[in-house]
Amino acid sequence: MTDWTPAMVEERLAVAALVLKRMPEPRRQGYFSTWPEIVHSFGDKVGQEPKPMRVLPSPQDISRMEETLTWTACLEPLDGKIVWMKAHGERWKEICWAVGLRRSAAHQHWQYGLSVIALTLNRRSFNRSLSKRKVIALAAGA
């Protein structure tokens, strides 16, 4: 496989977030209903909105998502939060409000997080005391 780039990491995180959204809701064990299933007639269904169809992810998608979930463990909590919020499709305005940073600073934390993940996946060692800009440049040159 080729070396990981921050763009590839971003795409994989977005796919993992999409798979996470498609997972079925967890159900409590031990709770059940003794009521019979209600069968609606055609007249009852007229004018109702159809229920959205939920397509469950494949086992391969779930395995890739589980692998991807471990990637943010090497990040600082703030960087991990920004990376996941962006992967879930949040707008920069909501991200900035949630983390308390300006857009330019939040964007730099996001790029830094993607770069750290890419460098870690490529098994490239780098000094953690480097500035965020140098780490971003190091990952871009990879």
Residue 1 belongs to a domain: no
Query: How high does pLDDT run on average in the chain?
Result: 89
Residue 85 belongs to a domain: yes
Residue 27 belongs to a domain: no
Helix then strand then coil, % of the chain, to nearest 5: 60, 0, 40
Give the pLDDT of residue 30: 78
Residue 51 belongs to a domain: no
**93-130 pLDDT, tens per residue?**
999 999 999 999 999 999 999 999 999 999 888 888 88
Identify the band that residue 38 occupies on the pLDDT scale cut at 50, 70 and 90: confident
pLDDT(89) > 90: yes
Structural domain containing residue 72: 6-22+57-140
The pTM assigned to this predicted structure is 0.79
Question: How many Å apart are CA 142 and CA 138, to the nearest integer?
Answer: 6
* Continuous H helices in 88-131: 92-99, 103-121
Residue 99 belongs to a domain: yes
C-alpha dihedral sign at 55, 87, 64, 66: negative
